Structure 1
Amino acid sequence: MLARGNQTPISDMFYDLRDGTKLLCLLEVLTNRTFKRERGRMRVHHLNNVSRALDVLKEQKVRLVNISNNDIVDGNPKITLALSWTIFLHWQVNDIMKELMATMNQSNLEKALLLWCQQNTEPYPGVEIRNFTTSWSDGLAFAALIHRWRPDVTDFGLIASKPDPNERLELAFKHAQEVFGIEKLLDPEGIFDFHKPKDFINGNFLLCNIFN
């Protein structure tokens, strides 16, 4: 999407969004508008650019909770992921998920996504999804969801037979990248670190799975 705004792709989300220029470019593509930005390299210029981007999001009725320009400029991982997830939800997910949410008689997107995961992994032994954090730590939920849509190239039994959860996660992520083109956003070890913002990461992974 950034290529449409003549910007180089993002290689490190936490670093590349810090000066606000790529963020403003993304919003230009999404809103079909042009926004003035400051080209200086000092922190104050970066803060002003990010502030302008946050103001644009508020104008678009995007709900921002505890997201400040300082956090983005500082490269705060949790806040940066929260911002990207919020933008993703507003412009891409809500419209695509409307039919699914209506079918499930569910108005909350996160609950609808959780219910979708539960329904699609119900036949798989050992898989019990209750949230977007601990329920995914053993790798079985990831493997089941991938196998559900591509059983021809994914061996759920093989992945489930691995005694090490890290190995199961690594295999599941490898299949996701090879089959669906979904980039690995978190190392297996990170799934066990419950201080990391996995809700956003796992949610992005699942939504990419749905869209594919």
Structure 2
Amino acid sequence: FLKSRDGIRLARIVEILTNDKESCLVGKMRLPAISRLQKLHNVGVSLSVLEASGVANIADISAHHVVDGHRPKVLKLLWSIIAHYQLRAVLDVTLLENEIRDVHRANRKRREYVAAFLTRTSNVDEMSSENAHECEDSDNLVKLLLKWCQAVCSCFGYFVENFTTSFADGKALCLLMHYYHPGILRKEEILPTTRDLPNFFSTENQREHEKEAVAHNIFDEQYENALQNERRNSAMANKRMSDLGGVPGMLAVTDSANIPEEKSMILCVAYLCSRLMESSKEIFATMVIQRCYRRYQSMILTERKKLSASVIFSFWKSNKKRYFECQKRKYLSSVRVIENFLFAKKKELKLMQALRLERIKRSEAACVLQCMIRRYKSRKCYLLLLNQHLAGKKIQTHFRRYSAQKNFSLHKQQFHALVILQCFWRRYRSRSFLLLSKKCAIYIQS
């Protein structure tokens, strides 16, 4: 800022950018610029030339701001110069608009499947255009650049709202390069970021719980991993941009905790867009060349097929009779062999049928013999059992009769013995009573 206060360097920059050698802006400077009035004159001349060149948003910047080293105003002036000259030199408005239409047209089918996402994307576009992107610059190039980023990233379901928070995780830059050069940066190499973390506290009533959860380090580990992934994405994007070439290495490794500076990101995206537009032209030219070459190859192949078909047909027409005769002779021997084979098989089949009938008859005769033998054996067993049954009955009858006779004789002997015992007992009692009566009578008589 100190070196630009005298207005000389600013005048030289303006002269180079405007490429107006006739005005000789440096010749209008007051040298050496020692006093404050000389510095104000030099800076005022440069600002008037910039306003005449159409540089926007510098009406509120005066020579006093530059001479006094007013940092925000000087930065705004430098950014206005860069946005007016450098962005227009890097980007083509018509080409960028056509590219946005081509991106939407190429991904129309994809957008039909994600209609809800498209609604949200359109809302984002309106919001970004209304807010004019917070960068104090209403230039259409910045708006078109943001819309181009939104159109490309919307194909992958990634929302781009601005050039600060949306590009902090490096994922947007990676998606832009992947869309045009999938071979240089594959989608699998892009790591998940903090925007991919699940939103556990979505309602307003749960904000206090969210604060408590963060206070207790519930999601610290996941958040740190996501931040590391963002830094890796940013570093990978810088490396791939350097591999592409044409993009100055002006970006540092950033993440959601360290949001990049907006104007630097706009310049980087502008250079990247210009480089990718060139790649888009190269890819389109390659596709046109491939399409023409394939059409030419298809035409040559069709002509060759037609020529081959005509040659084959003429050869077939001239050799058709001989071919059929050769085939007839060839197939005649084959037919004879087949006939002999069929006759042999037929004879063998008849023999097998005869053997089968004989086998059936033998089995039927064996069944009849088995029935007769089984009937004879069963009858013999039945008669044997019947004789045994009758003999058992007869033996039982004789045994029962013998037992009855034996029991009757034993009972008879016992009855006779009892009768004899009763006779002896009665005689003994009668004799005893008689003797007693006799003794008593003798005693009484005496």
Same fold (TM over 0.5): yes
The runs of 5 or more residues in structure 2 that have no matched partner are: 102-128, 130-138, 194-225, 276-446
Matched, 1:111 2:143: yes
Within 2, Cα distance between the matches of 1:122 and 1:98? 21
Shift of 1:18: 5.1
1:70-81 equivalences under 5 Å are 71-72=65-66, 74=69, 76=71, 78-81=72-75
Residues 53 and 189 of structure 1: is their aligned pair in 2 closer, same or farther, counting only changes over 3 Å?
same
**Aligned to 1:99, which of 84, 94, 101?**
94
Equivalent position of 2:77 in the other structure: 83
192, 203, 210: which one aligns with 2:266: 203
Q: Contact 1:18–1:46 at 8 Å: present in 2 too?
A: yes
Partner SS state of residue 25, structure 2: coil
Q: Could you tell me how far apart the structure 1 residues matched to 2:61 and 2:13 are?
A: 18
Q: Contact 2:170 / 2:231 at 8 angstroms: preserved in 1?
A: yes
How far did residue 185 of structure 1 move?
Answer: 2.8
Radius of gyration: which is bigger? 2
- Name the counterpart of 1:21: 8
CA distance in 1, matches of 2:246, 2:78: 19
Give the SS at the match of 1:135: coil
Alignment RMSD (CA, Å): 3.5
Aligned twin of 2:48: 55
Percent of pairs with identical residues: 25
The answer to whether the Cα contact below 8 Å between 2:87 and 2:267 also exists between their aligned partners in 1 is no
When normalised by structure 2's length, the TM-score is 0.37
Name the structure 1 match of 2:179. 148
* Higher RCO (Cα < 8 Å, 6 or more apart): 1
- AA of the residue aligned to 1:153: I
How far apart, in 2, do the equivalents of 1:16 and 1:152 lie?
46
- Offset from partner CA, 1:139-169 (integer Å, 9 cap, x none): 1011112233333323443242584222321
Q: Quick one: which of 238, 243, 264 aligns to 1:178?
A: 243
Instruction: Name the CA shift for 1:183/1:91 in 2 (closer, same or farther; >3 Å).
Output: closer
Task: Give the TM-score of the pair, scaled to structure 1.
Answer: 0.70
Provide the C-alpha distance between the structure 2 equivalents of 1:82 and 1:179, rounded to a whole number of angstroms: 30
